[in-house]
Amino acid sequence: MRVWLPRYRRIAGLLGLNMEADWEATLRLARLVEGKAVKPLEAAERVSGRTVFVFGAGPSLEADLERLSRSSLLGRGVPIAADGATSALLAFKTVPSLVVSDLDGRITDLLRAEKLGALMVVHGHGDNIERLNALLPRFRRVLATTQVKPVRGLVYNFGGFTDGDRAVFLAEALKARRVVLAGMDLGETVGRFSKPWLKKEAKASQTKKVKLEIARELLGWLAGWAKAEILNLTLKGEDIPGVRRISLKELRSLLKA
């Protein structure tokens, strides 16, 4: 927390975020998960010591899933979906082990993923309090997260800001051996799975561009100190400082080691 909060204060300043509203969302989330809160130790049982695939909802997502599927590598790592990427994974008949979401993905697919065995990691912030109130009661069990002060035993702060980079911070906190990024373009275009109403990829708004640049910066920072090896398999998109791009051939060799 001591390391994360100064970075978050800078992010809040860049985007004009209300940290008091974030705290209000955190308290509301804590109340909503009482009786069904998941502890990090349970989530770690799915991740610790293993190779994890973190799927963002960028324009490369479907191509990356197709490449992994055709090469028979899709089932060789623990799949973690960043919100809307859940829909694409389900279309490829893959159930994410964890879904990292602030509940603005396709809710029917998030609920379906949980029913099929996914563990929901739900994030609270000042802009999604209404969604938390309306949707969180529909989920059975939740690992709750915040970007400000946590609530002991109920809401946790693992670091990270967007669904995609939060998923990577989570994997590191849960002691993944290796994190492989896919669908993490982090550029000026958003993928069609990033929002439920999109039918095709679209140009990112200025605010979204800033958020994606923040995600890129945070992933580069994390790569500098993480114990997990972080690698980027994303077909296109922006390079991430300190995160090496790899090919399917290289990934296959790593998974055999």
How does pLDDT run across 14-67, given as a tens digit for each residue? 999 999 999 999 999 999 999 999 999 999 999 999 999 999 999 999 999 999
Distance, in Å, from the CA atom of 157 to the CA atom of 173, rounded to the nearest integer, reads 10
How does pLDDT run across 220-249, given as a tens digit for each residue? 999 999 999 999 999 999 999 999 999 999
pLDDT at 204: 95
Q: What is the mean pLDDT of residues 85-97?
A: 98
Taking 70 as the threshold, does the pLDDT of residue 123 lie above it?
yes
Taking 70 as the threshold, does the pLDDT of residue 180 lie above it?
yes
Whole-model pTM: value is: 0.97
For every residue of 5-37, DSSP letters joined together read HHHHHHHHHHHT--HHHHHHHHHHHHHHHTTTB
Could you give the percent of the chain with pLDDT greater than 90?
A: 98
User: Quick one: tokens of 253?
Assistant: 């060799």
Taking 90 as the threshold, does the pLDDT of residue 212 lie above it?
yes
Q: Which residue is it, tokens 């296959």?
A: 252
Q: What is the mean pLDDT of residues 118-136?
A: 97
